[in-house]
Amino acid sequence: MQYRLRTKLIACFISTALTIGIVVPSYSWIVDRQSVVVTPVSRAELVAKLAKDPRAALYCLSDNDKILFEHRQKAVATFNSRETFEGRTQGWTATTDSNGLRNNSPAIRPTARKIIMLGDSTTFGVGLNDAETIPSCLTRILSDQSGEAIDCLNFGVSSYTTVQEVAYFKHKQAMQFHPEVVVVGFCVNDYAEGIGSLGVVEGQIQLLRPELAAKLNLGAAKVRRSKPVNPRTWKMGPPRQETIDAVYTALDRLRRELQGRPMIVVLFPRSFQLSGPSIADVDDRQRPLRHYCQRHGITCVDLLDHFHGCDPLEFYRPGDGLHPNPEAAARIAEILSRPIAQHLGRTQQIAATSASP
């Protein structure tokens, strides 16, 4: 009798534990899913909200469906310093020129030799003033080293995927600048089959990542935000083959556009990768791009090789696991200047040879 009673109590305990462990989390997941309220926003409403949101002063909707949004021409946007769990960020101001490209310091010189750097928010320089971005630093370093005017044009746009970046290159008729070298800034979260999108989140203009935009199945939406994640500990799994193929296809298209001009791919790491036990344990998102570059003879600069093991606080902005601080941006530009200078030297030799009788 006691044995049966004990058996029933154990069975009841197990049943209760399973209910708490499985049903309750499942219910929470359902509640969380149901709490996401998605309301379509018309183009006119989005334009009106764009006009009101100070962070959206840089952006406007594009008539090119392959990029969806781009920078406004001659825009000025100032972002105040803010407190994070790791300290206070610096305030910063971003401005764009008459082409909608982020301004460099010094400004673009018509007679200078040109380099173009494509990318997303890291290339654009979120958290950095115009003079602190990687393209601005490259402009100064290369000009000082060579003794001639060399401009690195900043084609970075926040939230762009590689697919968008290549479409933007064509949309802006980038070849009219006669670039001698094109640098593609690739963040390990850029694997995507589609394109990023502007959206309205909690009444604020946000740049939705492609996965979220696809999940919502609309370009502009009002949706309640999920709980924020810690950028230092947030990890990413290996990319899916479909997203790898989408990046490969975009880079193939860019190579055709360049018509033989040299291309450099620079791989930006995430915070969790810097503190990994070894590079081999955390570089599964860099490998596909390294293999692509190796197959096609493209120069690849993997910044994980240069910064693995360093303190993330020395590399990223406070409370940010993706965007370099001013000191790190300057170091990245210094690293990139070497392969760029080599390519510029080769193109100059080719030009001199072809000009000789």
pLDDT mean over 3-24: 48
pTM: 0.77
| Residue 188 reports pLDDT greater than 50 | yes
Would you give the distance in Å from CA 114 to the centre of its chain? 22
**Are the C-beta atoms of 243 and 193 separated by less than 8 Å?**
yes
- CATH of 83-196+230-355 among 3.40.50.300, 3.40.50.1110, 3.40.50.720, 3.30.2310.20: 3.40.50.1110
pLDDT mean over 266-281: 87
| Paired residues of 153 in beta bridges | 116
Q: Give the highest mean pLDDT range of 25-34, 217-226, 278-287.
A: 278-287
Q: Domain ranges for the chain, please list them.
A: 83-196+230-355
| Residue 350 reports pLDDT greater than 80 | no
pLDDT in tens, 107-128: 788 899 999 999 999 999 999 9
Please give the pLDDT value at position 316.
Answer: 92
DSSP code per residue over 324-337: B-HHHHHHHHHHHH
